[in-house]
Amino acid sequence: MPGESTSHVAGSPRRLAAILAADISGYSRLMGADEEGTLARLKRHRRELIEPTIQEHYGRLVKTTGDGFLAMFDSPLEAVRCAIVIQQSMAARNMSLPPEQWIRYRIGVNLGDVIVDPDDIYGEGVNIAARLENLADPGGVLISGGVYEQIKNKLVCGYQSLGDEKLKNITDPVRIYRVLPDPASVARATRQHWVWLSSGAAALLILGAVGWSIMKPETSEGGRRSASLEQSADKTSASGLLQAESSSSEPQSTSASSAAGAPSGMPPAPAAPSSNLPIPITPISPSPGAATKTAPSTVAAIPSPSRPTDTGSGSSIRDCQGCPELVRVPGGSFRMGSDEDSSEKPIRLVQVSAFAIGRYPITVAEWKQCVAAKACPDVVRGEDIDPARNLSWLDAQQYVDWLAQSTGLAYRLPSEAEWEYAARAGSTGRYWWGERMAPRMANCKGCGDPYDAHQPLKVGSLVSNPFGLSDVNGGVAQWVADCWHPNYQGAPADGAAWTEPGCREHVLRGGSWRNDASYARSASRMYYDTGVRYPAHGLRVARSL
């Protein structure tokens, strides 16, 4: 079993550590169906997802064991965060494949005393993590009681107690908790492993279930949440699986980037606030605008796109001191989607009205203003001219809600159609400049220099497209307003966002510096859980004209 410890190493140091054990559910079946393809995908996932995610959460990959791996962390909080990010990322990758080809990990996390060898770790702490992994559902995470006590008030997610279990070769029973998609799931969850019951015990179980169904409080799924200013800095809706701690021990820089260091066309970053008082936002020319609506219209054929309607396109807009710089995008129609991935089909003609969109992704400096106004969580780190990242969709929605309320203007997240229309800028190829990757056009893995495996480039580092947008290919993946749908069947054809109440996943566009060039295509789509923060996710704002 992956991570199982059967011996002790004399003279090796002992330490308390959080142990993450993982293996792939149904690995033998996957290898029997497609040995070479499964092995290639497994290696790619380890290289692109598993190893970087463990490093980002300050862990150490101890070893890989065929279809599994073992990792060690100083912090149980980081271990659980890492487990959740891996499971969510794997779910996203699986969506482009038929279910019989899905690679799904089972993960167990335990906090215990272990013996550390240069190439391995040993001890009961490792064995318990391996037993938890064996009990976990495919795509699920089980944690021990020791881990739960350390993280229960630090992560906004649900936990279901599975009680005390006697595990094989473990002397004392271990209390086990299942990590749930959201806190509301606690009331709906049922125990997944089988227990043989006598008829009397079964009757008692039924009576207990009836009593619980009468006594339990009603819960509901959280829909798309509008942020309100009275919320605490790190509060999110119950639809979120994972949110970071409400405050970080990492010191936050208060120095603003110098104007001389800003890229061409980028406004100087505003000075950091000298107090905790909210920063007033004074609109320059407020005017009401319409919010994005759902419109389930489709087209039967794909006519030729219309020429963009010139409405002062390409000119800059800055609505207030410190507001993000926008560019006007002309109205027109375009062929949305591609044949490269099933999620990008069918290709169809979409009509888009003129609108304004951010010239750059939102920066750290711009996010800090929302934090200072007590309207956004303090979860973003970096220099002022870095793109703001580690944001959930709910975080992004909080920012645009605050900006709209502060200015009186129709700020919002762009629809998926608006984003692709603006990113293409009249082009029809894989990228706005053509079919092949070119130097200094994208910030992604394998896209050429400059490339930093640990962080994205500063905003404005790449060549702008004909509409004046920079950093649309790679950098940070950018949230849009649309709920995730696996393809475009039934999608709106008028440029509106495709939404419905309570959707659990939202769409991201543009790829990130951590992805390869295929994710940086104009038509490429990704999705992620609405309330989950991830280090490669940011946003770009839009405004109705």
User: Containing H/E element for 505?
Assistant: strand 505-509
Whether pLDDT at 355 is above 90: yes
The closest alpha carbon to 145, from 161, 156, 166, belongs to 161
**Within a 10 A sphere around the Cβ of 535, how many other Cβ atoms?**
20
Nearest-CA neighbor of 491 among 295, 243, 356?
Answer: 295
Strands 316-317 and 348-352 turn out to be: unpaired
Q: How far is CA 386 from CA 111, 263, 270, 412, 456, in A?
A: 35, 11, 13, 21, 8
The DSSP-derived string for 81-107 is HHHHHHHHHHHHHHTTS-GGG---EEE
Q: How confident is the model at residue 281 (pLDDT cuts 50, 70, 90)?
A: very low
State pLDDT tens for residues 463-478: 999 999 999 999 999 9
Section 353-380 average pLDDT: 96
Q: Give the integer Cα–Cα distance in Å for 444 and 45.
A: 17
Q: How confident is the model at residue 11 (pLDDT cuts 50, 70, 90)?
A: low
Name the β-bridge partners of 266: none
CA dihedral 52, 419, 228, 232 (to 10 degrees): 10
Q: Decide yes or no: CATH 3.90.1580.10 for domain 317-545.
A: yes
Are the C-beta atoms of 450 and 458 separated by less than 8 Å?
no
Each domain of the chain, given as residue ranges in start order, spans 14-180+183-215, 317-545
- On the question of pLDDT at 7 being above 90, the answer is no
For 14-180+183-215, the fitting CATH number among 3.30.470.10, 3.90.1210.10, 3.30.70.1230, 3.40.50.300 is 3.30.70.1230
More confident residue, 468 or 1: 468
